[in-house]
A = this chain, B = another copy of it.
Protein backbone atom coordinates (compact mmCIF):
# COMPACT_ATOMS: atom_id res chain seq x y z
CA UNK A 1 0.00 0.00 0.00
CA UNK A 2 1.22 3.50 -0.79
CA UNK A 3 1.90 5.41 2.42
CA UNK A 4 0.88 8.75 0.93
CA UNK A 5 -0.88 9.42 -2.30
CA UNK A 6 -3.05 12.12 -3.78
CA UNK A 7 -6.71 11.60 -3.01
CA UNK A 8 -6.14 9.55 0.14
CA UNK A 9 -7.75 12.15 2.35
CA UNK A 10 -10.80 12.40 0.09
CA UNK A 11 -11.07 8.61 -0.08
CA UNK A 12 -10.92 8.35 3.70
CA UNK A 13 -13.69 10.93 3.95
CA UNK A 14 -15.89 9.17 1.39
CA UNK A 15 -15.37 5.75 2.98
CA UNK A 16 -16.00 7.11 6.49
CA UNK A 17 -19.26 8.73 5.44
CA UNK A 18 -20.44 5.49 3.82
CA UNK A 19 -19.56 3.38 6.88
CA UNK A 20 -21.08 5.90 9.32
CA UNK A 21 -24.29 5.87 7.27
CA UNK A 22 -24.39 2.08 6.95
CA UNK A 23 -23.49 0.99 10.46
CA UNK A 24 -23.66 4.11 12.62
CA UNK A 25 -20.97 6.54 13.74
CA UNK A 26 -20.31 4.97 17.14
CA UNK A 27 -20.08 1.42 15.81
CA UNK A 28 -17.56 2.31 13.10
CA UNK A 29 -13.86 2.00 14.01
CA UNK A 30 -10.84 3.69 12.50
CA UNK A 31 -9.52 0.20 11.69
CA UNK A 32 -12.60 -0.46 9.56
CA UNK A 33 -12.32 2.88 7.79
CA UNK A 34 -8.63 2.33 7.04
CA UNK A 35 -9.27 -1.19 5.77
CA UNK A 36 -12.13 -0.08 3.53
CA UNK A 37 -9.97 2.75 2.14
CA UNK A 38 -7.08 0.32 1.67
CA UNK A 39 -4.63 2.27 3.83
CA UNK A 40 -3.05 1.60 7.22
CA UNK A 41 -4.48 3.09 10.44
CA UNK A 42 -1.26 5.06 10.63
CA UNK A 43 -2.13 6.70 7.33
CA UNK A 44 -5.62 7.52 8.65
CA UNK A 45 -4.09 9.26 11.65
CA UNK A 46 -1.77 11.30 9.43
CA UNK A 47 -4.92 12.86 7.94
CA UNK A 48 -7.32 12.96 10.91
CA UNK A 49 -6.86 13.02 14.69
CA UNK A 50 -9.84 10.67 15.11
CA UNK A 51 -12.97 9.52 13.29
CA UNK A 52 -14.92 12.56 14.47
CA UNK A 53 -12.43 14.87 12.77
CA UNK A 54 -13.39 13.36 9.43
CA UNK A 55 -16.74 15.13 9.88
CA UNK A 56 -15.35 18.36 11.34
CA UNK A 57 -12.08 18.90 9.44
CA UNK A 58 -11.49 22.44 8.23
CA UNK A 59 -13.07 24.29 11.17
CA UNK A 60 -10.43 27.03 10.99
CA UNK A 61 -10.94 27.46 7.25
CA UNK A 62 -14.68 27.62 7.91
CA UNK A 63 -14.26 30.41 10.47
CA UNK A 64 -11.76 32.24 8.23
CA UNK A 65 -14.29 32.21 5.41
CA UNK A 66 -16.55 34.40 7.56
CA UNK A 67 -13.86 36.56 9.12
CA UNK A 68 -11.64 37.46 6.16
CA UNK A 69 -14.28 39.51 4.32
CA UNK A 70 -15.10 41.30 7.59
CA UNK A 71 -11.46 42.12 8.29
CA UNK A 72 -10.61 43.28 4.76
CA UNK A 73 -13.67 45.51 4.26
CA UNK A 74 -13.17 49.29 3.90
CA UNK A 75 -13.17 51.19 7.20
CA UNK A 76 -16.59 52.82 6.84
CA UNK A 77 -18.46 49.69 5.76
CA UNK A 78 -21.85 49.52 7.54
CA UNK A 79 -22.23 46.56 9.91
CA UNK A 80 -25.00 44.91 7.91
CA UNK A 81 -22.75 45.07 4.86
CA UNK A 82 -20.06 43.25 6.88
CA UNK A 83 -22.63 40.56 7.67
CA UNK A 84 -23.54 40.37 4.01
CA UNK A 85 -19.86 40.06 3.01
CA UNK A 86 -19.31 37.31 5.56
CA UNK A 87 -22.23 35.40 4.09
CA UNK A 88 -20.98 35.93 0.54
CA UNK A 89 -17.75 34.32 1.66
CA UNK A 90 -19.63 31.07 2.22
CA UNK A 91 -19.70 30.52 -1.52
CA UNK A 92 -15.99 29.82 -1.41
CA UNK A 93 -16.27 27.23 1.36
CA UNK A 94 -19.46 25.55 0.16
CA UNK A 95 -19.37 25.40 -3.64
CA UNK A 96 -22.03 23.32 -5.38
CA UNK A 97 -19.57 20.40 -5.74
CA UNK A 98 -19.64 20.07 -1.98
CA UNK A 99 -23.40 19.82 -1.66
CA UNK A 100 -23.57 16.03 -2.09
CA UNK A 101 -21.05 15.56 0.76
CA UNK A 102 -22.95 17.99 3.01
CA UNK A 103 -26.25 16.25 2.25
CA UNK A 104 -24.81 12.88 3.26
CA UNK A 105 -22.99 14.29 6.30
CA UNK A 106 -26.03 15.93 7.93
CA UNK A 107 -28.05 12.79 8.81
CA UNK A 108 -24.94 11.35 10.48
CA UNK A 109 -24.56 14.49 12.60
CA UNK A 110 -28.28 14.46 13.40
CA UNK A 111 -28.20 10.80 14.47
CA UNK A 112 -25.66 11.21 17.26
CA UNK A 113 -26.07 13.59 20.25
CA UNK A 114 -22.31 14.11 20.70
CA UNK A 115 -21.97 15.10 17.03
CA UNK A 116 -24.96 17.43 17.26
CA UNK A 117 -23.38 19.07 20.28
CA UNK A 118 -20.07 19.46 18.44
CA UNK A 119 -21.91 20.99 15.47
CA UNK A 120 -23.73 23.46 17.73
CA UNK A 121 -20.42 24.23 19.42
CA UNK A 122 -18.93 24.99 16.01
CA UNK A 123 -21.66 27.54 15.31
CA UNK A 124 -21.31 29.01 18.81
CA UNK A 125 -17.56 29.44 18.26
CA UNK A 126 -18.24 31.04 14.90
CA UNK A 127 -20.64 33.50 16.56
CA UNK A 128 -18.04 34.45 19.18
CA UNK A 129 -15.31 34.93 16.56
CA UNK A 130 -17.48 37.09 14.29
CA UNK A 131 -18.46 39.19 17.31
CA UNK A 132 -14.76 39.68 18.13
CA UNK A 133 -13.95 40.65 14.55
CA UNK A 134 -16.76 43.21 14.54
CA UNK A 135 -15.68 44.72 17.86
CA UNK A 136 -12.12 44.98 16.52
CA UNK A 137 -13.59 47.08 13.73
CA UNK A 138 -15.21 49.38 16.28
CA UNK A 139 -18.76 48.00 16.17
CA UNK A 140 -20.19 48.53 19.64
CA UNK A 141 -22.35 46.27 21.81
CA UNK A 142 -25.05 45.11 21.67
CA UNK A 143 -24.77 45.63 17.90
CA UNK A 144 -21.67 43.45 17.42
CA UNK A 145 -23.14 40.40 19.15
CA UNK A 146 -26.53 40.86 17.46
CA UNK A 147 -24.82 41.14 14.07
CA UNK A 148 -22.77 38.02 14.76
CA UNK A 149 -25.86 36.08 15.87
CA UNK A 150 -27.72 37.31 12.81
CA UNK A 151 -24.91 36.25 10.47
CA UNK A 152 -24.76 32.75 11.96
CA UNK A 153 -28.55 32.35 12.05
CA UNK A 154 -28.87 33.37 8.41
CA UNK A 155 -25.97 31.08 7.51
CA UNK A 156 -27.46 28.14 9.40
CA UNK A 157 -30.96 28.53 7.94
CA UNK A 158 -29.49 29.00 4.46
CA UNK A 159 -27.27 25.96 4.83
CA UNK A 160 -30.26 23.82 5.88
CA UNK A 161 -32.09 24.97 2.76
CA UNK A 162 -29.02 24.44 0.58
CA UNK A 163 -28.91 20.73 1.50
CA UNK A 164 -32.70 20.26 1.23
CA UNK A 165 -33.61 17.52 -1.30
CA UNK A 166 -34.94 19.63 -4.17
CA UNK A 167 -32.82 22.73 -3.72
CA UNK A 168 -30.45 23.65 -6.54
CA UNK A 169 -29.69 27.33 -5.91
CA UNK A 170 -26.22 28.24 -4.62
CA UNK A 171 -25.67 28.82 -0.92
CA UNK A 172 -24.77 32.40 -1.79
CA UNK A 173 -28.11 32.99 -3.52
CA UNK A 174 -30.07 31.42 -0.66
CA UNK A 175 -28.18 33.42 1.98
CA UNK A 176 -28.81 36.65 0.07
CA UNK A 177 -32.52 35.85 -0.09
CA UNK A 178 -32.64 35.12 3.65
CA UNK A 179 -30.79 38.30 4.54
CA UNK A 180 -33.15 40.32 2.34
CA UNK A 181 -36.10 38.61 4.04
CA UNK A 182 -34.68 39.57 7.43
CA UNK A 183 -34.27 43.17 6.32
CA UNK A 184 -37.85 43.22 5.07
CA UNK A 185 -38.97 41.67 8.35
CA UNK A 186 -37.54 44.32 10.64
CA UNK A 187 -38.36 47.29 8.41
CA UNK A 188 -42.11 46.90 7.83
CA UNK A 189 -42.55 50.66 7.61
CA UNK A 190 -40.82 50.59 4.23
CA UNK A 191 -44.00 49.02 2.87
CA UNK A 192 -45.53 52.45 2.94
CA UNK A 193 -42.50 54.24 1.52
CA UNK A 194 -41.58 55.21 -1.97
CA UNK A 195 -38.17 53.64 -1.49
CA UNK A 196 -36.33 56.94 -2.06
CA UNK A 197 -33.82 58.00 0.54
A-side residues, CB < 8 A to B, are 78-81, 83, 113, 117, 120, 142-143, 145-147, 149-150, 153-154, 157, 161, 177-178, 181-189, 191-193, 197
Contacts and interface: CB of A to CB of B under 8 A. Distances in A.
Interface SS of A by simple majority: helix
Contact of A149 (B120, B153, B177, B186): B153
A146 B142 contact: no
B188 A79 contact: yes
Given A142-B181, A178-B142, A178-B146, A186 B187 contact: yes
B183 A186 contact: yes
Q: Give the one of A78, A185, A187, A197 with max B CB within 10 A.
A: A185
A139 to B, nearest CB: 9
A128 to B, nearest CB: 13
Contacts of A189: 197
A146 B153 CA distance: 8
A182 B197 CA distance: 20
Contacts of A79: 185, 188
A79 B189 CA distance: 11
Contacts of A184: 143
A184 to B, nearest CB: 7
A142 B145 CA distance: 23
A161 B145 CA distance: 12
Contact of A146 (B80, B113, B143, B185): B185
